[in-house]
Structure 1
């Protein structure tokens, strides 16, 4: 079942309010998120990070979650976590955090990295300033504007004779999952689906249908999900990104314990529609 929109609880904004109430703080140290084990939401909840003896290098306002302000911040590499807290890799804690907290954390890491990486104009090199009207960096010298970066990617459930194709990737958790990849300049989403599948496993597909989308902060992606039918070809993995691939029956599919990713939603779709 697809999740409800995060906007039922979260209201994005780039215009901060006065810091006169407790806020959620998404604090990153070299891309690792600060987790508060004493808080039900696992995120530091305070008016000011000085309460935890933390001095951020930079911070950005994110909006409100259930009426509470949200901020993202970066501390210097090597900063020690306060008592009862720890810095954790965002990929490893998606089963620990509330789903909406995790999704805001995904936005938070992308915004703080955008802030860090756009301190200077990419066109003329002058220091930039943050816009007061939108989430962008403006060069006061040449006027060049830099927005938060978004890289579209496609992920596809390929079905043949009531079986789904799953592949083992050379990176990450090395478990069987769906074929995915970034869309290249000049191609449609559907063309990206066809090219990625042909490149990685040597197959042709047809009847490509849109399934859904999901923000994915690794590093700044919009994952667009599709279903497709096998058309022709034999499995021939590229040996680079994909080390193995094979067809799975519905009762053989490795299930994911969390439904937070669109990959797990696509796999559940297959199980629900192709089980005996």
Structure 2
């Protein structure tokens, strides 16, 4: 087992996830930096937290936690994680998302939430431990439901307040304490669209590092009710014919996959 805080050898070819706040270092062609540490234009990593986070294509992957937009890293520029999503290389996007979530975890768990003592990194797993009260924390995962709802030959799409202008997607929301996934789905759909659904079917899941969600995807059918779009969460929403869709999320997103499953394009 590789300890998470073990230092990479200078001549070890590796993938590098240099994370600064909510951005990651990417090369000019929107790729993750790859190479031996001795060949990278990196500063001395003794001054940075470096964490082994797994392997990609039989090569080690390391997270480097950088200061905000640290210009000491000259192998690229800091970009949103979505820059990797746009390349449709889902393995690298998942790796970068994992790095982003670990970086966020380390930065938000420097002190114990129970007694306020400074926490220490556990050297054999990705966790932070308080030696004063023995409280231990692990990277947070927030469960979310996301659902593609059809009504005959139409699908419900809505524009969220945080979506790109003109972008429509399907409904989603966080699971609350004490809820099953199905209960959370029914509640979110009713709150955001004013309708009830039937024939709820689980399809797939996707880690979504904005900042630490696990999206669990479903399809469902309209059961009853007229649309009443929640103005606090959504800009607009409507039923769209399968062959007349507006701009929808890109390939590689769970939303796009669910839309294509719902309208019957996933096997084409």
TM-score by length of 1: 0.86
Which position in structure 2 is the counterpart of 1:32?
A: 23
Alignment of 1:240 with 2:215, yes or no, is no
Deviations 1:43-92 (A, max 9, x none): 24332597323655422210121221111112112422644611101124
Q: How big is each residue's C-alpha offset from its partner over 1:206-231, in whole Å with a ceiling of 9 and x where there is no partner?
A: 11111111100011000000111101
Determine whether 1:100 maps to 2:119.
no
Q: Given the alignment, which residue of 28, 35, 53 partners 2:43?
A: 53
Of 143, 147, 150, which residue of structure 2 is paired with 1:156? 147
- Equivalent residue, structure 1, for 2:67: 76
Cα contact 1:171–1:241 (8 A) shared by 2 = no
Question: Is this contact kept in 1: 2:21–2:104, CA < 8 A?
Answer: no
Matches within 5 A, 1:179-218: 179-218=171-210
> How far, CA to CA, are the matches of 2:213 and 2:187 in structure 1?
18
Q: 1:165 to 1:49 in 2, by over 3 A?
A: farther
* Cα offsets for 1:141-161 (capped at 9, x unmatched): 110010110000000011111
Larger CA deviation: 204-213 vs 46-55 = 46-55
Q: Deviations over 1:125-170 (max 9, x none)?
A: 1121222332211111110010110000000011111211001111
Pair 1:128-2:85 in alignment: no
Q: Counterparts of 1:153 and 1:257 in 2: how far apart (Å)?
A: 17
Hey, what does 2:157 align to over in structure 1? 166
- Give the TM-score taking structure 2 as reference length: 0.89
Gap runs ≥5 in structure 2 = none
Secondary structure class of the residue paired with 2:146: strand
SS of match in other structure, 1:76:
coil
Give the deviation of 1:270 after TM superposition: 2.2
SS of the residue aligned with 1:267? helix
> Is the alpha carbon distance of 1:92 and 1:205 closer, same or farther for their aligned partners in structure 2, counting shifts above 3 Å?
same
Q: Is the contact made by 1:12 and 1:62 (CA closer than 8 Å) also made in structure 2?
A: no
Distance in structure 2 (CA, Å) of the matches to 1:81 and 1:51: 8
Q: Does 1:260 align with 2:252?
A: yes
Task: Decide whether the 8 Å contact of 1:170 with 1:242 is kept in 2.
Answer: yes
Partners of 1:88 and 1:81 in 2: CA distance: 15
* Distance verdict in 2 for CA 1:13–1:265, change over 3 Å: farther
The answer to whether the Cα contact below 8 Å between 1:81 and 1:87 also exists between their aligned partners in 2 is no
For residue 265 of structure 1, give the secondary structure of its aligned residue in structure 2.
Answer: helix
For structure 1, list consecutive stretches of 5 or more residues without a partner in the other structure. 1-10
Root mean square deviation, CA, Å = 2.6
